[in-house]
Amino acid sequence: MTIFQPVLLEAVGVAESHTLASYRSRGGYAPLERMLKEKQPTDVVELVKASGLRGRGGAGFPTGLKWTFLPKDHPGPIYLCINADESEPGTFNNRILMEDDPHQVIEGIILSAYATRATTAYLYLRYEYPQSWDRLQGAIDEAYAAGLLGKNIQGSGFSLDLYLHRGAAAYICGEETGLIESLEGKRAWPRIKPPFPAIEGLFRKPTVVNNIETMACVAQIARRGVDWFRSIGVPSDPNNPRDPGSYGPKLYCLSGHVERPGCYEAPLGITARQLIDGQGGGVWKGRKAKAVIPGGISMGLLTEAELDTPLDFAGPGKVGCLGLGTAAVVVIDETVSIVDFLHNSCRFFAHESCGQCTPCREGTAWSLRMLERIRVGKGRLKDLELLAEIGNTMGMMPGSTICGLADGAAWPIKNAIKKFRGEFEDYIKRTNPSGWMVTDPVPALPIVAAH
């Protein structure tokens, strides 16, 4: 396998990579200056559309297409929100981009604002990234001083203000309408869609919400062109006219039980096994993988036998996972009990459910209670049916919730019980020899760990 030369991560390891001088020396901002001089906003939209770039935040929606949903010739303000509320367990690529190469992100933001005709951009940064905050604020100050932000950028007549906005440790703020509500100063309850943010978003104005890595990709597409971007990754399926393909480089976050955890850039479509054995140096301590999270904990689980699944936008779905998600690959070795894994997952979602939709608020809390019960040796086989029922009924897909958090909570439950049912049954029978077969209702244990 040839080693992929990193582009989005080219600055990692470079001295003073976060400064304007360093970014300029690597060719940064020249594409922006050229675009502002030579291209119209619609040209930039067409460029990004032609590249096939799909949003890197988790849903994989085509970025250029999202921009075209904005109303034409809108008289009022249009807002650009940058989603840096990176909270999906296992995910840290936005942090690396913001800390090591903030100007790459800012160039992408300016280009995207120009394309969408936004004159104010808010970068919603999670509280847990103080280093990113300092690096970004430093870079924004440099950009203002260099005439790359503010009024009449580089004499183009285009103006943009970019502001940082600090979150307060809530996972739901990564959902785009939750982020908008939070920015407006309210509790971060996701909105019912439609209207989509492109029509009515922040402060009830047309709004685009894009992820940090997406912004870095926009900057690189402007620099290297559509052909370069489309030469990387997995082309769209010719037998499926609705498949937009998986083009471009992707930042994979590798963590858990691997020898070399880290953020690695690779073409979309690398398999989980290639990533773990290649960049990751293999499963740690010479052990075997029991399961692997393909793209953040919400995406479910790959079994050892499914590790040759390509990690592109279509791959994980073919083996029953929710999708590529954030491409955060977490390796779980053979010594870990799947009961403990699912307990950790259920605790996360019970803690982070925003409480707006009943199926999610109750479903996540009850699934945690049941996992507590199983874990302390009071599980029944019936609990697996109940857990599966929760998994099948909460979420946007069954149509019972407003946002996808519940789908993300449901997927690890569904995947774990389907793919590791034998282990659950063995555990329950072994730890509860006298009661595993009981089907009567039992009192729930008090919830002890979620909050």
What sign has the CA pseudo-torsion 319, 322, 325, 330? negative
87 vs 415, beta carbon nearer other proteins: 87
| Residue count (the chain) | 451
From 11-19, 161-169, 271-279, 431-439, give the range in contact with other proteins by CB under 8 A. Answer: 161-169
Rule CB under 8 A: say whether 186 interacts with other proteins.
Answer: yes
CA 324 vs CA 8, 87, 130, 189, 313: distances in Å: 19, 16, 28, 25, 5
63 vs 345, beta carbon nearer other proteins: 345
Rule CB under 8 A: say whether 256 interacts with other proteins.
Answer: yes
Rule CB under 8 A: say whether 385 interacts with other proteins.
Answer: no
- Report the distance separating Cα 146 and Cα 155, nearest Å: 12
| Binding positions for other proteins, 45-84, rule CB under 8 A | 77
Listed in sequence order, the residues at least 6 apart from 369 whose beta carbon sits closer than 8 Å to its beta carbon are 444, 445, 447
What is the identity of the amino acid at 410? A
Burial class (CB in 10 A: 0-12, 13-18, 19+), 36: buried
Binding mask 321-360 for other proteins (x = CB under 8 A): -------x-x-xx--x----x--xx-xx--xx-x------
Shortest distance (Å) from residue 199 CB to other proteins? 18
Rule CB under 8 A: say whether 207 interacts with other proteins.
Answer: no
Binding mask 166-185 for other proteins (x = CB under 8 A): xxxxxx----------xxxx
Listed in sequence order, the residues at least 6 apart from 181 whose beta carbon sits closer than 8 Å to its beta carbon are 187, 188, 189, 190, 191
- Report the distance separating Cα 300 and Cα 312, nearest Å: 15
Among residues 83, 214, 255, 367, the one that binds other proteins under rule CB under 8 A: 255
Which one, of 194, 48, 27, 18, lies nearest residue 113 by Cα?
A: 48
DSSP per-residue string spanning 59-76: S--BHHHHHHTSPTT-SS
From 86-94, 211-219, 231-239, 308-316, give the range in contact with other proteins by CB under 8 A. Answer: 86-94
| Binding positions for other proteins, 117-146, rule CB under 8 A | 126-131
| Binding positions for other proteins, 291-320, rule CB under 8 A | 293, 297
Shortest distance (Å) from residue 425 CB to other proteins? 23
Shortest distance (Å) from residue 78 CB to other proteins? 13
- Report the distance separating Cα 9 and Cα 14, nearest Å: 10
**Which residues are at the interface with other proteins (CB under 8 A)?**
77, 86-92, 94-95, 126-131, 161, 163, 165-171, 182-188, 203, 253-257, 261-263, 293, 297, 328, 330, 332-333, 336, 341, 344-345, 347-348, 351-352, 354, 451
